[in-house]
């Protein structure tokens, strides 16, 4: 797994044009704040990304959840599979997020660019959902997809799960990157417990219903 971080190139200072004589100097009382990172939300039966693109939720049995896969302007939903599996209140379940590819991940609308973006988004998601030492099982697959006429790329990988008292040995992480046609891409991430494989095809069906509204 690789996690790409990019830094903005340094820029040379540029001289400002002179103002008209007698122009008053304004001293603002508050410094301008940084632009906050956009966030999406779950609205009714849809996950609404900050860019207004939508993906249908998996079903009414899924609830809102914090987005923690590193998507830009994304939102997420959750389905509990194992409640209180350790007798101490711990829960384990399935997770789906939808949003935009983070702007610090390089992206090009080519087959290779979509694939690389999916790899980077997936790596970041696995670190966010598990940790940097998460292990993948053999058999990761890649597939070219099309969503509403927009090219995309899908990755399916299995993450080794070793949690005491948890009746799961792996989870299936699925990544779909879809080109938006404006130099950016949408991303959906699914983390499905190994014991509930039926949700995988539900996720694929919902990815096929992503609406790009730029």
Of 123, 129, 35, 110, the residue nearest 73 (C-alpha): 35
Nearest Cα neighbor of 96 from 196, 208, 157, 187 is 187
pLDDT, tens digit, 9 for 90 and up, residues 86-126: 999 999 999 999 999 999 999 999 999 999 999 999 999 99
Phi, psi angles (nearest 5°) of residue 123? -60, -45
For residue 33, is it within any domain? no
Residue 30 belongs to a domain? no
State yes or no: pLDDT of 9 exceeds 70.
no
Q: Give me the CATH number covering residue 112.
A: 3.40.1000
State the pLDDT confidence band at 3, using cuts at 50, 70 and 90. Answer: very low
Number of domains in the chain: 1
Give residue 122's domain range: 41-207
Closest CA to 192 of 210, 212, 209, 206: 206
> Does residue 6 belong to any structural domain of this protein?
no
Is the model's pTM score more than 0.85? Answer: no
């Amino acid at each position: 797994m690789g996690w790409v971080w990019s830094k903005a190139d340094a820029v040379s200072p540029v001289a400002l044009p002179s103002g008209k004589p007698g122009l008053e100097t304004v001293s603002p009382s508050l410094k301008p704040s940084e632009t906050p990172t956009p966030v999406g939300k779950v609205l009714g039966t849809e996950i609404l990304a900050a860019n207004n693109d939508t993906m249908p939720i998996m079903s009414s049995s899924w609830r809102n959840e914090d987005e923690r896969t590193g998507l830009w302007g994304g939102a997420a939903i959750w389905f509990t599979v194992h409640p209180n599996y350790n007798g101490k209140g711990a829960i384990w379940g399935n997770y789906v997020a939808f949003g935009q590819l983070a702007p610090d991940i390089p992206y090009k609308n080519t087959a290779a660019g979509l694939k690389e973006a999916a790899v980077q988004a997936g790596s970041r998601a696995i670190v966010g959902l598990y940790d940097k030492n998460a292990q993948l099982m053999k058999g990761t697959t890649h597939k070219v997809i099309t969503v509403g006429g927009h090219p995309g790329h899908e990755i399916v990988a299995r993450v080794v799960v070793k949690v005491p008292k948890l009746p799961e040995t792996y989870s299936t992480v699925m990544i779909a990157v879809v080109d938006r046609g404006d130099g950016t891409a949408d991303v959906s991430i699914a983390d499905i417990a190994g014991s509930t494989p039926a949700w995988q095809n539900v996720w694929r069906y919902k990815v096929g219903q992503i609406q790009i509204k730029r």
